[in-house]
Chain A
Amino acid sequence: MTSATYDTKYAIETRNMHIYYGAFRAVKDVSFGIERNKITALIGPSGCGKSTVLRSFNRMNDLIPGARTEGEVLYHGQNLYAPDVDAVQVRREIGMVFQKPNPFPKSIYDNIAYGPRINGWKGSKAEMDELVERALRGAALWDEVKDDLKKSGLALSGGQQQRLCIARALAVEPEMILMDEPCSALDPISTLKIEELMFELRQNYTIVIVTHNMQQAARASDYTAFFLMDKDDRAGQLIEYDTTSNIFQNPKDKRTEEYISGRFG
């Protein structure tokens, strides 16, 4: 955040993080670091807490009544859950793309302009036009919609909507982008487009993506974290975290191997 007391080599580092929904511990004792300007994939069977961990990185869990995070989530060395940290500022710097495309019922243009406007953006109409174009180009959507920016965001196809949501996240120039199964509602071609897009975005952004698609994780990520639910207390834990090639070709944990080879979960 603003006062970087000490810089770690990670964009985000969790230390002994536990996440609770009321009395239920959904995630326990997660400690790992997300590398800068890399794509990190979170994989694991359903219900193991991937989304929960992802949401803890920009404090979206705060919106769920009764959700609570213990331990530390360090961003530039600053604990995001320290009492003096404002969740709004965290989300301003760490953007999010959701599983289901959720454009606002506004025009494409206004969908993109919304983020900058609420964040105190100042500039002329021409500059906003430019910003909108840059964001749409960044999300590889510009060529498809440039003639009709007044059209409702809801009138786009699912894949276009998802790229609109990515463009919307890019428009506020975050440092990090979190994506929760962004391709689960999309066809293979749209999925490939979004994967290509992630590769381009990697130059400027740190990306964390949750996915159920093993090929996608193997193809499109640099690092992979494998989560699994503890059979006894049903809490998700981090089983193995390594470079994607190591996880997929040379997993150290037997459970990881079983999961990625499809014998499990």
Chain B
Amino acid sequence: MSAETNASSERSTGTLPQGEAVRQNVAQRQRRGRVWEVVLFASTVVGIVILVMLAFNIVNDAFGGIAVQSVVEEEDLTDGRRLEDLSQPELIAILEANLRSRVLRNLERERPLAERDEGELIDIINQEIIKPEVVAIYPLSEFLFNRAAIEAELAEAFPRAELQFKSWLNWNFIVSPMSSNPTQAGIRTAILGTLFLLLLTVLIAFPLGIGAAIYLEEYNADKPFDERSPVGRWLNRTIQRAAGLIETNIYNLSGVPSIIYGILGLAIFVRALEPFTSGAIFGATEGVTANGRTILSAALTMSLLVLPVVIIASQEAIRAVPSSLRQASYGLGATKWQTVWKIVLPNALPGILTGTILAISRAIGETAPLIVIGASTFIVTDPDGLFSKFTVLPLQIYNWTSRPQEEFRAIAAAAIIVLLILLLSLNAAAIMLRNYLRSKRIST
């Protein structure tokens, strides 16, 4: 070895550190490595801090305190007794004493008061006379750590108000339809719209995307027409050029801003294909009022949006199947289709599924293209078919955050939590599905 070192230094190819210099050199390289380690750690910390801030912001708005004040206090109506303890005639007496005669007459006409039971009467008293009202709301941090200041402020502005904890995210919020009253508004319509839109998008984009990926990966090199005739040669060349053009531009397509897909969807699905997307040619009547701004149009637009990513993910998964497996299959006399269907696809499926589910879960959060194609922002009826109007969670959130009242900000935060949970469970499902398929295929 030393002989070689000498030989090489004679040829003057530079020098390697020797003796004490080796130690210094190693120490210096280690120091440099530690500096980078600190840098990497710092960037991780920054990422985590940002995540925590995001979570704090949302939770801070979605939970907190509300100050409720009634127009008339319950005690004033009942001389200090509780409404639940009163008998039916006493409740009727309270109603007759406090409601205007016109309102009373209306109630009587609906159903005579004497025929109603206590529970119903208490509800009427609450709604018509006591009228609890949210007069102020406080984010969680203030509610928890600034209690004294809040109470002082309340005592001055709303002496009769009562401060209580409020989770804006609750079961009622999830199952109630949209309402212009923030304390009653829910996201049922939006959740159903999101799920329905997602399902349709998957049904459209999944087969299309995988199909295109299979063609580009497995069939692209084929020459389907007879090479010996000039027409066949020309057709083969044209097909290959088109496929090549698509292939090189898929990455560009996946980077196109989503709003541009919205504009495309508006022009094609909402306007040009209106008879189809509104269901008019199928005799559907509901979609006609939507003018083609139906959930079908939205699903088609979303499919366009996710298609490039689905294709890329599927292509990569298909490419990852070892070619030795394809050769083994061909070597046994399998046709191309048999090889694709029985060997390539089953082995690529875990990768295809994770890739596409991740792609499609991105579509859950898309808002811009849906605004462009004219999704409804205020709608109380559930989507019940391809041709119904619809709204989705991010649109609902967008709509609420753009309102001035603080209550809307709170329910927007609650809706964001629901959206995030939906997203996370979808991604978790993708990972579980992949692991399941993998374990089933390889290690039985």
Contact = CB atoms under 8 A, between A and B. Distances in A.
The bracket for how many chain B residues form the interface is 20 to 34
B345 to A, nearest CB: 13
Given A107-B444, A154-B442, A118 B333 contact: yes
Nearest to A117: B342
Contacts of B260: none
A104 B328 contact: yes
B444 A169 contact: no
Contact of A91 (B221, B326, B331, B342): B331
Given A89-B333, A104-B343, A118-B342, A98 B444 contact: no
Nearest to B321: A105
A20 interface: no
A121 to B, nearest CB: 11
A123 interface: no
B327 A114 contact: no
Contacts of B441: 105-106
Interface in A93-125: 93, 95-96, 98, 100, 102-107, 114-115, 118-119
Interface of B: 221, 322, 324-335, 338, 342-343, 347, 441-444
A79 interface: no
A141 B329 CA distance: 21
6 smallest A-B Cβ distances: which pairs? A92-B333, A96-B331, A102-B324, A115-B332, A102-B328, A91-B333
A88 B331 contact: no
A152 B334 contact: no
A181 to B, nearest CB: 14
Contact of B331 (A60, A151, A152): A60
B324 A91 contact: no
B442 to A, nearest CB: 5
A206 B442 CA distance: 34
Contact of B330 (A89, A91, A104, A169): A91
Contacts of B333: 88-89, 91-93, 115, 118-119, 172
Given A104-B328, A118-B335, 8 more contacts: A63-B330, A88-B334, A88-B335, A91-B333, A95-B332, A103-B328, A104-B329, A114-B332
A102 B326 CA distance: 10
Interface in A142-171: 150-152, 154-155, 165, 168-169
B342 A95 contact: no
Contact of B327 (A63, A95, A119, A168): A63
Given A60-B330, A88-B333, A168-B332, A105 B347 contact: yes
Nearest to B323: A63
B390 to A, nearest CB: 42
Contacts of B330: 60, 63, 91
A262 interface: no
Given A102-B327, A102-B328, A104-B343, A150 B444 contact: yes
A118 B332 contact: yes
14 contacts: A88-B334, A91-B333, A95-B331, A95-B332, A96-B331, A98-B327, A102-B325, A105-B441, A114-B342, A115-B333, A119-B333, A155-B443, A168-B332, A172-B333
B332 A91 contact: yes
B216 to A, nearest CB: 14
Contacts of B338: 118
A14 interface: no
A50 B375 CA distance: 65
Contacts of A165: 328
A233 to B, nearest CB: 27
A113 to B, nearest CB: 11
Contacts of A155: 443
A237 interface: no
Nearest to B347: A105
